[in-house]
């Protein structure tokens, strides 16, 4: 795509992108990291990877074994 465009068109696209990026609202990492940690801690009680899945609700539990006689 860039081969079909002139240098002027490419520079215009770059300027447009930079103008969009300047308008993007930014938050300090110190604030967002704390919010992320708080969210993870509040959701951890319901997280099946941390808490585990009850045997009666586990869809991947083996239903039975193989018996060879």
pLDDT tens-digit map of 7-64: 999 999 999 999 999 999 999 999 999 999 999 999 988 888 888 878 888 888 777 7
pLDDT at res. 57: 82
- Rama region for 61: left / alpha / beta (φ>0; ψ in -120 to 50; rest): beta
> Is 29 a domain residue?
yes
Above 60 in pLDDT, residue 1?
Answer: no
Name the pTM for this structure: 0.44
Assess contact for 17 and 9: CB atoms under 8 A.
no
Tell me the residue range of the domain where 22 lies.
Answer: 7-42
Number of domains making up the chain: 1
pLDDT at res. 2: 59
């Amino acid at each position: 795509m860039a081969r079909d465009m002139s240098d002027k068109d490419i520079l215009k696209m770059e300027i447009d992108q930079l103008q969009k990026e300047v308008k993007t609202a930014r938050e300090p990492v110190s604030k967002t990291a704390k919010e992320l940690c708080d969210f993870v801690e509040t959701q951890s009680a319901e997280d099946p990877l941390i808490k585990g899945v009850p045997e009666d609700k586990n869809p991947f539990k083996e239903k039975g074994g193989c018996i060879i006689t």
